[in-house]
Every structure is written in C-alpha cells, then in structure tokens.
Structure 1
Amino acid sequence: MPIGVGEVRIPDDEDFREFIKLAEDQEGWSQQYAKSGGTTVWTREGSSSAIKMFKVYRYFPDINAEVMYDVLHDGDYRPLWDKAMIEGKEVCLLNPNNDIGYYALKCPSPIKNRDFVLQRTWLETSTEYVIFNHSIFHKDLPPKKGYVRAESQVTGYLIRPKPKGCEMTYVSQSDPKGSLPKWLVNKVTQIIAPKIMQRVYKACLKYPSWKAKNNPNHKPWLYPEQNTLPRLKLDDILQRADYSTESLDESELQEDEFKVADLDLED
C-alpha cells in the first residue's frame, strides 16, 4: 500500500510502484463485472483494513491520455461533469506534484453525504500518468455538520497511452465511516463504478472544446509556475485523535430506499 492515512510527506518511487502494482496486478482480485469491449470491475480484500478495495478498468479508443489526465485535474471543469461532487477545492501545496484539498460527495438518499480531506499526488512520465490520494487531517478542514468525514486509504488513476486512445484503471479503498449495509458494496462495484467511467468518458469528449474557450493555457498540474496555492504549514497537520467525527449507523437501510438516480449517473 502506498503512503498511509494521516501521513503527510512527499511520496517516493516506491509509493508510485506500489500504486501501479495495485492497478496492474491481478493476484487476489475477484472479477465482479465485465462488459464485452467495455468496463471491468474487480474487488479485493484489504491487506490492512476490513474495507474491500475495488478497481475499474476501461479502454477508451477515442480519448488521448493527455486529455484524460487534464480532465481529472482541472478543478474548473470538474463541476460540469462530476455530478456527485457538492464541493471541491485545493487548499495548499506540499510541492509542485502534491497538494491538499477538500472533496464533499453527494450520496444517494437516504444515505448521509460524505466528505474527505486529501493529499493528492501526481506524476507524468513518457509511458504513464498517475494520480492518487489518501486522507490526512488538517486544522483548517475539521469535520463539518451535515457530513460524515470519510477516509481514503488509497484512491487513484493509472492512465496509459495506447497506439489508439488510452486505457485507465481506477483503484479505490475508502472507509465511508459509520455502518453501511452490505448490499451497498454491490451497488458501488456493479452499478455506480461503471457509470462513473462513462461519466469520465463523456467529460473527455467535451473537454477540448470547453478548454479552448476557458483559460486554455492554464494548466498548473503541468506548469507549476502557474500554481498560486500557499505552501503547507506543517503545524496545520493534525493526528486522527485530534478529530471529533460523527458516528452513524445506516446498516438497516433497505435496498429499495436507495436512489441511484440521485447521483445523476445515467449513461
């Protein structure tokens, strides 16, 4: 597993190798969903957590890897395609390839909304693009009323250029906190995860024309000199024990109460 929850540091080569291995390795993974010529979803028991990991793979023959990387980074564009996002913002920088941010997620009714405080890491090489995150604890981003503060053990993307198009693998192991019903895991892996891939695909198709009209040369994830975020103050980093989080039991919710349509993820 790459860098751990609550740990704030610059990831090293080994952290990137571990994330790439998660995305590429098939050992221990169980296939849950496969669509011919489309999306495949696997799950795996976590090595250090009771929360299962899942990953989603899809090949996109008509999307360039560079475009997909930009779409996943561009905070100005994200509200236009990420219909599950309530709020998202970058707060500060560790270095040109690491920032700390906040993400609030709309959960399908009647499940309570979740939010995250994340250290995000990214890297571009000649053969791949990597973005991954994990949860940290920041003084200026305490738990908020109306949300359950969830934790990402590791969540990220591996994008590889292909002779035609690109392929992407999305990996996630997140603890939603509280107690959620077991049937919800099946919803996430079999229904929601493939639909998220479709949402990203549609976003990539529309991005070049949108970006051409919206600050087309502004890409601070590629050009660090454009980034105006303040640097992280180490005194602002807290330990888990310094956080007071809400305890919530949603385990008795029934599947017929769950409204996938609330996520606006239709193909």
Structure 2
Amino acid sequence: MVFSFNGHAQENWRLKKDRNGVKIYSRDYPNSKFKEYKAIMVVKTSLQEVKAIVLDADNLKNWNYKTSKSKLVKKIDENKFIFYLFNDMPWPVLNRDHVSDVAVTYPNDKSIRINISPNNDILPENKGTVRITNFKGFWLLEETSKGISITHQLFGDPEGGVPAWLVNSQLVKSPYTSFNNLKDLLENKDN
C-alpha cells in the first residue's frame, strides 16, 4: 500500500522503478486494460506520523500527485472517513475526481491498514469533470527494524474514454512522485 486483495499470485508483480528508496511495481488487473500498482518504501518515522498524514484529507493535495483539491467530506468515527479528491489532468483529458470510503484497521500492534473504496452516492458529480467510480486499494503501514514500511496498492479505471496505454504510461510516475513527496514530508516534519 504484502497482501493481494485480488487473489493474484505475488509473482505477477513487475518491478518498474527502484530509486531513492522507493520501489514501484505493476501488474495486470483481472478483466481490465488498466494496470494496478504497488509502491513501497521504508521511512524512519512512527506509525502514527504516517497514519496522520495519510488520513489528513484536507492536505492530501499538498503531496498526492496531480491532486489540486482534497477534503474530508465526513468523519464517521475514529476509523471511518469519506474523502473527496480532485485531479488535474493535462489537456485534452478531462479532470477527474473521486469520493472514497476510507476504513482503518489494526491487524496487529505493529501495523495499520487503510482500505480505500468508492463511495458513489454521497456527493453529486461536477459538471465538466469525470467521476472515477471503479477503484480499489489500500495503505499498509508496518513497523520494521529499519523504520516504517509504507505500502500503497491501487487499481483504478479513470473512465471517460482515456486510452489504457496513456494511463498505464503514468502508472510509475504518479505513485513515485507521491511517495517522494510523502517521504519529504515525513523526514522534514520538524523543520
């Protein structure tokens, strides 16, 4: 965000980039032309620091790739939230947005899992923007002897007729940029 929510074998992952302590993998997703990615890095920080940044919906726009707007729509309880994100896309592709159910679980005392799934009913669609309604992913934060292992795994269909080759060509850049931004935030949080 390591566990596969699709029943894919782990060997199906292909390492696409390994730089600056960030590894990006991709693989085919069942019944889709669009690929799924997995990003992994280890950062010297705490579980709670990473959790706080990942769950700070209002500030995701400050580090999440191509996200110009982000907000907390609703806090259901301490472990369930609804997020809204707006993504700027290059012309001629229409901008995208999505509404996510975000659910936090604690598999054990050294890990936190944050599941992400669509919430297609709570907010109306915006004119001139394509609402992404088919996505699934998670964050997995795990304490290790070297620091906090951060895994983000995500599949998403951008909808609206964007060619799969175009989306798949950005499959490394998007999580790599986001992970480097997140790493900078975590490593420089006291500066």
Name the TM-score, length of structure 1 as normaliser. 0.61
2:28 maps to: 45
Q: Which sections of structure 2, spanning at least 5 residues, go unmatched?
A: none
Preserved CA contact (<8 Å) 2:99 2:118: yes
Aligned to 1:33: 16
User: How far did residue 69 of structure 1 move?
Assistant: 1.5
Query: Structure 1 residue 193 and structure 2 residue 171: aligned?
Result: no
Shift of 1:85: 2.1
Residues 79, 173 of structure 1: alpha-carbon distance in 2 compared, 3 angstrom cutoff: closer
* In structure 2, distance between residues paired with 1:78 and 1:208: 18
Please tell me whether residue 131 in structure 1 is matched to residue 114 in structure 2. Answer: yes
Cα offset, 1:206, TM superposition? 3.1
The question of 1:156 aligning with 2:138 is answered yes
* Deviation (angstroms), 1:83: 5.8
How many percent identity over aligned positions?
20
How many Å separate the matches in 2 of 1:136 and 1:166?
29
Aligned counterparts, 1:27-176, within 5 A: 27-35=10-18, 38-47=21-30, 49-60=32-43, 62-82=44-64, 84-124=66-106, 125-139=108-122, 141-176=123-158
Cα drift, residue 76 of structure 1:
4.5
Q: Which amino acid aligns with 1:199?
A: N
Hey, which of these two has a bigger chunk of helix by percent?
Answer: 1
C-alpha displacement at 1:200, in angstroms? 0.9
Q: How many residues align?
A: 188
5+ long unaligned stretches in structure 1: 1-18, 210-267
Structure with a larger share of its residues in strand: 2
Q: 1: distance between equivalents of 2:52 and 2:65?
A: 18
Query: What is the one-letter code of the residue matched to 1:40?
Result: K
Aligned-pair CA distance for 1:128? 0.6
Structure 1: 4+ residue segments shifted above 6 A: none
1:237 alignment partner in structure 2: none
Which range moves more in the overlay, 91-100 or 166-175? 91-100
CA distance in 1 between partners of 2:155 and 2:112 (Å): 20
> Does the C-alpha gap of structure 1 residues 109 and 161 become closer, same or farther in structure 2, counting only changes over 3 Å?
farther
Whether the 8 Å CA contact 1:97–1:121 is kept in 2: the answer is yes
